[in-house]
Structure 1
Amino acid sequence: MNNFNNILCVVTTGEVSKPTLERAISLAENNQAQLTVVGVMQPVAEGITMPDGARISTDLQTMMRTECLRALQTLTEPYQQRLRIQHEVLVGTGFLEIIRTVLRNGHDLLIKPAENPSFVDRLFGSDDMHLLRKCPCPVWLTQSEEKSNYRCILAAIDFNPGMPDTAERSLNQQILDLSSSLALSDFAALHLVHVWDAPGEATVRSWSNNPDEAATCYVEGERSRHERGFDRLCEELKSHLGTEVYEYLSPQLHLRRGAASTVIPETAKQLQADMVVMGTVARTGIAGLLIGNTAETILEQLRCAVLAIKPPGFISPVRSTE
Structure 2
Amino acid sequence: MTKYNNILVVADPAQDHQPALSRAVDLAKRSQEVKITLFLAIYDFSYEMTSMLSSDERLAMRKGVVIQREEWLKDITRQYVDDGFNIDITVVWHNRPYEAIIAEVFSNHHDLLIKATHDHVKLGSVIFTPTDWHLLRKCPCPVLMVKEHSWPENGKVIASVNLAADSETHEQLNDAIVSEAITIAELLGAEVNLVNAYPATPVNITIELPEFDPASYSDAVRGHHLTSMKALRHKHGLPEEQTHVIEGLPEDVIPKVAEDLDAELVILGTTGRTGLSAVFIGNTAEHTIDSLNCDLLALKPEGYVSPLSPHPEN
Normalised to the residue count of structure 1, the TM-score between the two structures is 0.83
Letter in 2 for 1:276: V
Aligned match of 2:9: 9
Partner of 1:157: 161
Q: Tell me the equivalent position of 1:261.
A: 251
Contact 2:34 2:86 (8 Å CA) reproduced: no
- 1:281–1:295 CA contact under 8 A, matched in 2: no
2:274 to 273, 284, 302: 284
Q: 1:131 is matched by which residue type in structure 2? A: L
1:90/1:98 contact within 8 Å kept: no
Instruction: State whether residues 270 and 279 of structure 2, in contact with CA within 8 Å, keep that contact through their aligned partners in structure 1.
Output: no
Report how many residues are paired.
303
- 1:243: which partner in 2? none
2:291 to 281, 301, 322: 301
Give CA-to-partner distance per residue, 1:132-158, whole Å, 9 cap, x none: 111111110101x22143623222111
Match of 2:127 in 1: 123
The answer for the alignment partner of 1:32 in structure 2 is 33
Inter-partner Cα distance in structure 2 for 1:71 and 1:36: 15
Aligned 8 A contact 1:195 1:259 in 2: yes
> Shift of residue 84 of structure 1?
2.1
Question: Match of 1:315?
Answer: 305
2 CA distance for matches of 1:130 and 1:64? 26
Task: Report the CA distance shift for 1:31/1:206 in structure 2 as closer, same or farther (over 3 A).
Answer: farther
CA contact (8 A) 1:9 1:110 kept: yes
Cα deviations across residues 244-301 of structure 1 (Å, max 9, x unaligned)?
A: xx56xx8621110111122212222333322211111322334354211111111112
- How far apart are the structure 1 equivalents of 2:177 and 2:63? 42
In 1, Cα distance between the equivalents of 2:118 and 2:107? 24
Closer, same or farther: CA 217–7 of 1 in aligned 2, 3 Å: same
1:137 — aligned with what?
141
Aligned equivalents of 2:189, 2:159: Cα separation in 1:
15
Q: 220-229 or 32-41, which moves further after superposition? A: 32-41
Letter paired with 1:189: E
Tell me, in whole angstroms, the C-alpha distance in 1 between the residues paired with 2:169 and 2:130.
28
Offset, 1:208? 5.7
Q: 2: CA distance between counterparts of 1:148 and 1:196?
A: 29
CA distance in 2, matches of 1:38, 1:122: 22
| Counterpart amino acid of residue 179 in structure 1 | A
Structure-2 residue corresponding to 1:69: 70
- Name 1:252's counterpart in structure 2: 242
Where structure 2 has 5 or more consecutive residues not aligned to the other structure, the ranges are none
The partner residue of 1:191 within 193, 196, 216 is: 193
Distance 1:106 1:280 in 2: 20
1:275 counterpart residue number: 265
**Greater mean alpha carbon deviation, residues 63-72 or residues 120-129:** 120-129
Residue 263 of structure 2 is aligned to residue 229 of structure 1? no
Say which is worse superposed, 222-231 or 188-197, in terms of deviation: 188-197
| Distance verdict in 2 for CA 1:15–1:281, change over 3 Å | same
Q: Distance in 1 between matches of 2:8 and 2:289?
A: 21
User: Retained in 2: the 8 A contact 1:123–1:303?
Assistant: no
- Deviation at residue 206 of structure 1 after TM alignment: 5.0
Check whether the contact 1:5–1:34 (CA below 8 A) recurs between aligned residues. Answer: yes
State the Cα distance separating 1:117 from its structure 2 match. Answer: 4.8
Moved more, 78-87 or 194-203: 194-203
* Alpha-carbon distance, 1:75 to partner: 1.5
CA deviation vs aligned residue, 1:33-89 (integer Å, no higher than 9, x gap) = 332111221145324267xx7774222211111111122222212222423222111
Contact 1:153 1:275 survives alignment (8 Å): yes
Check whether the contact 2:271–2:280 (CA below 8 A) recurs between aligned residues.
no
Tell me the equivalent position of 1:87.
Answer: 89
Deviation at 1:5, TM superposition (A): 3.2
Identity of aligned residues (%): 28
In the alignment, is the contact (CA less than 8 A) between 2:9 and 2:114 conserved in 1?
yes
The letter of the residue matching 1:105 is: N
**Unmatched tracts of structure 1, length 5 or more:** 239-245
Q: Matched residue of 2:293: which SS?
A: coil
Give the direction of change, closer, same or farther, for the CA distance of 1:255–1:33 in structure 2 (3 Å limit).
Answer: same
Partners in 2 of 1:251 and 1:72 — Cα distance? 45
